Amino acid sequence: MDDVLVVHGGAPLHGEIRVRGAKNLVSKAMVAALLGEAESRLHDVPSIRDVEVVRGLLELHGVRVSEGPAGELVFDPANVERANVDEINVHAGSSRIPILFCGPLLHRIGHAFIPDLGGCRIGDRPIDFHLSALREFGAHVEKSPEGLHLTAPDGLRGSKFTLPYPSVGATEQVLLTAVRAEGVTELRNAAVEPEIIDLICVLQKMGAIISVHTDRVIRIEGVPHLTGYQHRPLPDRLEVASWACAALATHGDVYVRNAQQVDMMTFLNVFRSVGGAFEVDDSHTGSGGIRFWHPGGELSAVALETDVHPGLMTDWQQPLVVALTQARGLSIVHETVYEQRLGFTDALVKMGATIQLYRECLGSTPCRFGQRNFLHSAVISGPSKLHGAELEIPDLRGGFSHFLAALAAEGTSRIHGVDLINRGYEDFEAKLAALGARVEHA
């Protein structure tokens, strides 16, 4: 497939697009279907690469997956079986989700093989929290050159753990393992992102007993059997923010159907502080949405820090940075979730932005990276006139931001490695076309 797109910048984006279920819930809900003894049905699933990878892995393990109307996927886990290591390894390096198959496969067939993981290169992305939690449950983990082999000769038992950091993936690992482990699990310092709460809703529909307490404590009472679920996922708030920033950076006006205010309040506050306008449309029953636009005048510089929920999401940072290149004054960004999530700014500098990266913590949110020599803070001086350039997509969110910058820039950009965007943005090119972007294949 042609992996290079040519973007003619300078045209404001105008129009309407719709987002589907959140990538970072849908893929986990698909894994949860493995735990049930009856069919599960997930609505409004986006057609993206991460979904294809998880579907492929489920099918290798004997889950029958079929498609219904309007993005519906149906999972029949009646005949879960061991899969061939070579066949699983075809998916090596393509996504981080396979690590979440550990608990469900141990419960269903007593063995799990996990290939080398992939995902975006935005930091070291270790899996130490996952493995120590699995060992606490009683799993044996053996590392081999081709991946991880897990067994649970004495079954899986609930336990008490405290995560060193509220990791989304490790919290999901514990949930997907504890629901069918013997006894009670108490997880402290858990992540409580809306996607996690939605996964808890999925598991509750399946028969799990999970309570979320104050101060990041989640308590799970293991049950011996789970059934299927029927679920409509929360909308993709990461994608919504990407299009919102596209409207702001290009002086445009974009209505994002299916966007929901409740899980985006922190983003909306920043969007408004920068000078963006939005209007929540929830007057009708049904999907509704949010309209985002540039109201004219100058954008304002802001200081922001990414953090775990309810803080500003790390995935909202990159599109916001593009908008901040157009704001008057000095903006400051402190990235506290991933140590290397500012690398994408190199391309913006090449396009004319003034951005300086720092190893120091430029903010007061407690951070693991200040002492460790990572360039994880940025100062952006604006407004800058951006011009077209030759760009290479570094990772999913950074890559979308390169597009944004190219759309906001004067002149033509050539963007390589575009296929990476399809990992997380459904119908990316069609949506750009619907908003009037001037984009063509090289």
Q: Which two tokens stand for residue 193?
A: 């992102």
Residue closest to ligand EPU, measured at CB: 169
Q: Does residue 127 interact with ligand EPU by CB under 6 A?
A: yes
Q: Does residue 336 interact with ligand EPU by CB under 6 A?
A: no
Report the alpha-carbon distance of residue 391 to residue 413 in Å, rounded: 7
Instruction: Convert residues 180-199 into a mask of x (bound to ligand EPU by CB under 6 A) and - (unbound).
Output: -----------x-x------
Nearer to ligand EPU, 190 or 226 (CB): 190
Please name which of 316, 203, 240, 242 lies closest in space to residue 20, comparing C-alpha atoms: 240
Please name which of 383, 417, 402 lies closest in space to residue 343, comparing C-alpha atoms: 402
Q: Does residue 397 interact with ligand EPU by CB under 6 A?
A: yes
Find out whether 223 and 234 touch, Cβ atoms under 8 Å. Answer: no
The region of 86-94, 118-126, 227-235, 269-277 touching ligand EPU under the rule CB under 6 A is 118-126
Instruction: Please state whether beta strands 64-67 and 73-76 pair in parallel, antiparallel, or not at all (unpaired).
Output: antiparallel
Q: Does residue 337 interact with ligand EPU by CB under 6 A?
A: yes
Q: Does residue 129 interact with ligand EPU by CB under 6 A?
A: yes
Find out whether 45 and 236 touch, Cβ atoms under 8 Å. Answer: no
Task: Name the burial class of residue 162, with classes exposed (0-12), middle (13-18) and buried (19+) by CB atoms within 10 angstroms of its CB.
Answer: exposed
Instruction: Restricting to residues 229-258, name those near ligand EPU by CB under 6 A.
Output: 238
Measured in whole angstroms, the distance separating CA 210 from the mean position of its chain's CA atoms is 23
Find out whether 435 and 252 touch, Cβ atoms under 8 Å. Answer: yes
Least spacing, CB of residue 193 vs ligand EPU, in Å: 6
Question: How many residues touch ligand EPU (CB under 6 A)?
Answer: 28
Q: Does residue 342 interact with ligand EPU by CB under 6 A?
A: no
Least spacing, CB of residue 256 vs ligand EPU, in Å: 17
Least spacing, CB of residue 285 vs ligand EPU, in Å: 30
Please name which of 394, 106, 388 lies closest in space to residue 222, comparing C-alpha atoms: 106
Q: Does residue 366 interact with ligand EPU by CB under 6 A?
A: no
Instruction: Restricting to residues 300-319, name those near ligand EPU by CB under 6 A.
Output: 313-315
Instruction: Convert residues 136-165 into a mask of x (bound to ligand EPU by CB under 6 A) and - (unbound).
Output: -----------------------------x
Cis preceding linkage at 98, omega within 30: no
CA atoms within 13 A on the CB side of 302: 21
**245 part of the active site:** no
The total of other beta-carbon atoms located within 10 Å of residue 232's CB is: 12
Least spacing, CB of residue 136 vs ligand EPU, in Å: 13
Q: Does residue 292 interact with ligand EPU by CB under 6 A?
A: no
Q: Does residue 24 interact with ligand EPU by CB under 6 A?
A: yes
Selected from 15, 56, 118, 123, the binder of ligand EPU by CB under 6 A is: 123
The region of 60-68, 82-90, 124-132, 260-268 touching ligand EPU under the rule CB under 6 A is 124-132
Please name which of 434, 432, 435 lies closest in space to residue 5, comparing C-alpha atoms: 432
Please name which of 198, 206, 200, 288 lies closest in space to residue 240, comparing C-alpha atoms: 288
Nearer to ligand EPU, 314 or 384 (CB): 314
Q: Is 215 left (phi over 0), alpha (psi -120 to 50) or beta?
A: left
Nearer to ligand EPU, 193 or 198 (CB): 193
Query: Cα angle vertex 342, ends 130, 10, to 5°?
Result: 130
Binding residues vs ligand EPU (CB under 6 A) = 23-24, 96, 120, 123-130, 165, 167-170, 191, 193, 238, 313-315, 337-338, 396-397, 424
Q: Which residues are designated catalytic?
A: 120
